[in-house]
Amino acid sequence: MISVKKAQELILSRSLPADFTLTDVRSIQGEVLRQPLVADRDYPPFNRVAMDGIAVSFESWESGRTNFPIEGCQKAGQPQMVLRNPENCIEVMTGAPLPKGSDTVIRYEDVCIIDGKAGIDSALSLKKMQNVHRQGTDCREGDVIDSGGSVLSAPNAAIAAAVGCAQIQVSKRPVISLISTGDELVEVDQKPFDYQIRQSNSYALNTSLRSNGFNDINNFHLNDNEDEILSSLGEILGSSDVVIISGGVSKGKFDFIPGALRRLGVEEVFHSVKQRPGKPLWFGSTQDGKRIFGLPGNPNSALVCLHRYVLPSLWKSIGIDLREYMPYAVLEEDYLFEKKLTCFLPVKITCRENGTLTGAPVALNGSGDFTSLAKSSGFLELSEEKNYFEKGKAFPLYLWRGQPL
């Protein structure tokens, strides 16, 4: 067996960079930006009114004038108006260009308008260019606003749209084949016999993958038949970037997956990790960069291995190293784990008022107990170097809903 750290290194070293693709700015769903976003003009592109009110000449105010006849109204979306008489004012709306000849905006709350004249209290404190969002103060034409490599969020979408990028270059997400194995499994809409169970792992793994934005998934089920597995795996490998297999990778008489992959020319990188749950984890790759993960069939083991190893590999291949965003949570109670293995401890997370995440251990009835697992938010990684973990200490946290980016 190898350590968790070594397994992570081996997997991430085989995460090949993804190809690029174009996506519509209206369809952004957490893709990774692969181009710079460059300002095509100054932002704001003009002196922008920042408050509803009136625009005046500050020089007129300084001279002692407190009543300003209203020349007109400048609304957003209209060409810039001109204040023809510096002793007058123009009503202005938020987002509109500041009229030429004016240089100060006074909000409506500080103005009394009677019979077409705006009156201002002489005791009001004014500054030149107040309530004006000056041209180019956010960025200048040609400035790189986002150099790329970030996960596209709502602010990025706003920037892309503002600079005219209707089509954005992003990392292409891999094509994933998700395979469940076992004669005992039947479809969700079937009534199982006493010796059968409905598929559940594939639905859990699908949900985790899709919640991380990996939506190009093909689903398969293989029975415990060596010839069927060998034939089907060969076809699946040919049409996939990543293959994730649930079950069939342990040491049982009908665990044919590792042998079949070897016969298909897949390099076995490792088989078995010093961890609980998920010790039988299998990982391999092909010469052309395809990655194959053999997850244990127990529900807890499969889900833990997906979040601890598969998702970081998928994110790395599209340009994001999840290790840079690793959250930590504090144990709510002492925990003893006597095995010389890394322990992945299911926890229920609570966010405290001081900003601390705390994790309360969730008891499971073995690695096959997925009903109790539903009570957890994710799991903490407790190092194999210790067996006693103190209340109040912080440990790496993996969330079922994905890591915060």
- Angle CA 18–21–27, to nearest 5: 120
- Angle CA 320–148–326, to nearest 5: 25
- The position carrying tokens 């109040």 is 392
pLDDT recorded at residue 195: 77
Looking at the domain that runs over 326-399, which CATH code has it been given? 2.40.340.10
| Chain CA centroid to CA 235, Å | 32
pLDDT recorded at residue 54: 98
The fold of the 4-18+173-324 domain, in CATH, is Molybdenum Cofactor Biosythetic Enzyme; Chain A (3.40.980)
User: For domain 48-133, which CATH number applies: 3.40.50.300, 3.30.70.100, 1.10.533.10, 2.170.190.11?
Assistant: 2.170.190.11
pLDDT recorded at residue 362: 96
What residues does each domain of the chain span? Answer: 4-18+173-324, 21-43+138-171, 48-133, 326-399
Task: Give the CB-side neighbour count of residue 55, counting CA atoms within 13 A.
Answer: 33
312: nearest Cα among 7, 2, 1:
7
pLDDT recorded at residue 197: 67
Name the CATH superfamily for 21-43+138-171: Molybdopterin biosynthesis moea protein, domain 2 (3.90.105.10)
* Residue 105 near residue 47 (C-beta atoms within 8 A): no
Separation CA 364–CA 402 (nearest Å): 21
Looking only at the bridges linking them, the beta strands covering 217-222 and 275-276 are: unpaired
CA dihedral 249, 255, 257, 260 (to 10 degrees): 140
From the first residue on, what is the mean pLDDT of each consecutive set of 10 residues in the chain (405 residues)? 97 87 91 95 98 97 96 97 98 98 97 97 94 98 95 92 96 95 76 77 92 94 90 94 90 83 95 96 94 93 96 95 95 96 97 95 82 93 96 97 75
- The position carrying tokens 């009229």 is 99
Determine which helix (DSSP H) or strand (DSSP E) holds 330, and give its type and residue range.
strand 328-331
Question: Could you read off the pLDDT of 194-225 as tens digits, one per residue?
Answer: 877 677 788 899 999 999 999 999 999 988 88
Burial of 11 from C-beta contacts in 10 A (0-12 / 13-18 / 19+)? buried
Quickly count: other Cβ atoms within 10 Å of residue 223's Cβ.
Answer: 14
